Amino acid sequence: MTTEVTYRRATHDDYDDVVAFTKDTWADRDGSDYIPRIYHDWLEEEDEYDQQYTCVAEVDGQVVSIAQTVLLSTREAWCQGMRTDPDYRGQAIGRELTHEMWDWAREQGATVARNMVFSWNMMGLGHSRGVGFGPATEFRWMHPEPDSAAEGPLDTTDDPNVAWNYWTDCDARDHLAGLGLAMDESWAVVELRPELFERAAENQMLAAVTSDSGVRGVTYRVRDYERENEEGEPKTWAEYGVAGWDDLDAARELVAAVKRDAASLDADHVRVLIPETVEYVSDASLLRAGISDEPDFVMAADLTADYRGQFGSR
């Protein structure tokens, strides 16, 4: 029997249906899904900026799948929140909903779509590969403790030209395919450009490590925000879009710069994106800068390709 599915833009009235199949997404890992918390914010931002598209799949009047895409630049789309009711998996509904997002993004001029998946999320990884995403890169989170008195062995500058000069020819950029955290969308990566470093230097924080031998590292802050912990207590997070360095001294200087900056914000927690390589992860461990237990994966899809022809169409 063929299931009749309607694909359309999400509305506020769909909230209860969406919550019903997303509230326990990661119950087996003692984690809650973020979608019920931010669902209405997503739709309000759509009305205000028209730079994102939240779509749902509906069967017999019930919403059974959801996904969102956001334009991060004139050519880059970010896909997130891809969920399907377990009772409706295996029917290609999630795949077609993803392609609906891609169609919209391509109409806006995007040529690439990306998403992020936890490395432990086998269901999410399988879904991403099945709909047409391919491997792009992987990274790990570094978690240094805020410290206003932290000192490093080298110097730093907030000159965006110096920072960009380093980024264009460093191992971190090669491994990360030129990507770092976006400033206007949480939990998303974007191709780093000089304008982002300029914006970080002016409005956030930018630190390029300098020495007599030249520039040896770079980092920038994306944002700081407040979120309640499991006990309902408000905690401040400071988030840094990437950290790249040439050697341990440069790493020490960058970690010290992040610690000082985070302390100036009265941050309780710090998160810094670093490449998932033996060198970076072991350097962070050696410096006791804190390191996440598992990496995260970034996937990408070429929107100039015939993805509907390759992966089917309804």
Q: Cα angle at 199 between 195 and 202, to 5 degrees?
A: 140
**What contacts 200, CB < 8 A, 6 or more positions away?**
160, 183, 206, 220, 221, 241
pLDDT interval class at 30 (50, 70, 90) = low
pLDDT number for residue 28:
62
The residue type of 48 is E
pLDDT digits (tens, 9 = 90+) for 96-122: 999 999 999 999 999 999 999 999 989
pLDDT at res. 33: 83
Tens digits of residue pLDDT in 123-140: 899 999 999 999 999 999
What is the mean predicted confidence (pLDDT) over 242-264? 98
Residue 31's pLDDT is 59
Contact call for residues 71 and 52 (beta carbons, < 8 A): yes
Question: What digits encode the pLDDT tens for the residues 273-291?
Answer: 999 999 999 999 999 999 9
Query: Residue 314 has what pLDDT?
Result: 41
What integer is the mean pLDDT of 13-21?
95
User: Residue 248: in which H helix or E strand, if any?
Assistant: helix 248-264
Q: Which residue has the higher pLDDT, 233 or 146?
A: 146
How many C-beta atoms lie closer than 10 Å to residue 78's C-beta? 24
Residue 259: helix, strand or coil by DSSP? helix
Q: How far apart are CA 98 and CA 36, in angstroms?
A: 20
pLDDT at 1: 46
313 has pLDDT over 60: no
Pairing of strands 62-71, 112-118: unpaired
Range name among 30-39, 243-252, 278-287 with the lowest pLDDT average:
30-39
- Predicted confidence (pLDDT) per residue in 193-238, tens digit: 999 999 999 999 999 999 999 999 999 999 999 988 878 899 999 9
Helices and strands in the chain: count of H runs, count of E runs: 10, 14
Cβ-contact 228, 235 below 8 angstroms: yes
Its pTM stands at 0.92
Nearest to 103 by CA among 311, 307, 309: 307
Calpha distance 12→125 (Å, rounded): 28
Name the token pair of 70. Answer: 């956001």
Q: Which residues contact 68 (CB under 8 A, 6 or more apart)?
A: 42, 52, 53, 54, 55, 79, 80, 81, 101
Closest CA to 198 of 148, 151, 249, 161: 161
Q: Percent of the chain scored above 70 by pLDDT?
A: 96
Mean pLDDT, range 17-42, rounded to an integer: 82
d(CA 263, CA 218): 19
What distance in Å separates the CA atoms of residue 234 and residue 254, rounded to the nearest whole number? 27
